[in-house]
Amino acid sequence: MSARTLTFEIFRFDPQLPGDSPRLERFELEETSGMTVFIALNRLREEQDRSLQFDFVCRAGICGSCAMVIDGKPTLACRTLTSTLSPKANRPVITLMPLPGFELIGDLSVNTGTFMRALSERLGAWLHPKAAAHSIHALETPMDPQLADSIYEADRCVECGCCVAGCATAQMRDTFVGAVGFNKVARFALDSRDAREPEDFYHVIGDEDGVFGCMTLLGCQDNCPKDLNHQAQIAYLRRKLMLGARIL
């Protein structure tokens, strides 16, 4: 089978460049075996336009840097094979856009770092240890393996921002915590070493900017490249918070 010619329609705009305006630019590239969108973008930058901006670090779905909207779906460029995009078309047109809901740095590059840091500070997303944990002479308390697995599951989040980009509520209301924030809270709400009680978490996410603002549209779950079960986490947090506040 002969190689396909891929046409990329890529969002271009450099907010730092006076007079620049948002537009789509077309690029063509021969598809190669095992090509990912990340590989295609690198080739386009090396061979056709050195000013093309996009992010990557790990190339293995671990850092979350390469998230963008590919043919309308927020996902990771390094884990998206071009062969999966319009697989039956000989000359597919692939559209690449930056993630909405984040500050645009340029073209496909957005600033998720400032957003994630502010979210962590707002939610207190770090371990608040129980008093006994401060003693270096205290014996380490073993953790139940099932609990450790649950915490590990939440820790798989790479903070790529796809859940925020895919969430209609987060796009309409930038004060909404969103799935990545709920995941951070759930991780510490689960942790038996954390001193915080349900009431403490209630003060942080117990309103409509928190878990009670989720409209269950499932955008977070449908677009999570790590297949995290965000809706189960939201249900867990709602129940834990309501029990803590004695609403249930």
Interface positions with ligand FES (CB under 6 A)? 56-59, 61-66, 76, 78
Write down the least CB distance from residue 129 to ligand FES, Å: 31
* Cβ nearer to ligand FES, comparing 35 with 190: 35
* Cβ nearer to ligand FES, comparing 78 with 170: 78
* Cβ nearer to ligand FES, comparing 62 with 147: 62
Write down the least CB distance from residue 206 to ligand FES, Å: 32
Write down the least CB distance from residue 62 to ligand FES, Å: 5
Write down the least CB distance from residue 39 to ligand FES, Å: 11
Write down the least CB distance from residue 152 to ligand FES, Å: 19
3-state secondary structure of 193: coil
Question: Whose CA is closest to 160, among 231, 66, 232?
Answer: 66
Write down the least CB distance from residue 150 to ligand FES, Å: 23
* Cβ nearer to ligand FES, comparing 101 with 161: 161
Q: Distance between CA 36 and CA 47 in Å, rounded?
A: 16
Q: Distance between CA 92 and CA 70 in Å, rounded?
A: 13
* Cβ nearer to ligand FES, comparing 54 with 202: 54
SS (H, E, C) the chain: CCCCEEEEEEEECCCCCCCCCCEEEEEEEECCCCCEHHHHHHHHHHHCCCCCCCCCCCCCCCCCCCEEEECCEEEEHHHCEHHHCCCCCCCCEEEEECCCCCEEEECCEEEHHHHHHHHHHHHCCCCCECHHHHCCCCCCCCCCHHHHHHHHHHHCCCCCCHHHHCCHHHHHCCCCCHHHHHHHHHHHHHCCCECCCHHHHHHHHCCCCCHHHCCCCCHHHHHCCCCCCHHHHHHHHHHHHHHHCCCC
Write down the least CB distance from residue 101 to ligand FES, Å: 18
* Cβ nearer to ligand FES, comparing 44 with 185: 44
* Cβ nearer to ligand FES, comparing 68 with 204: 68
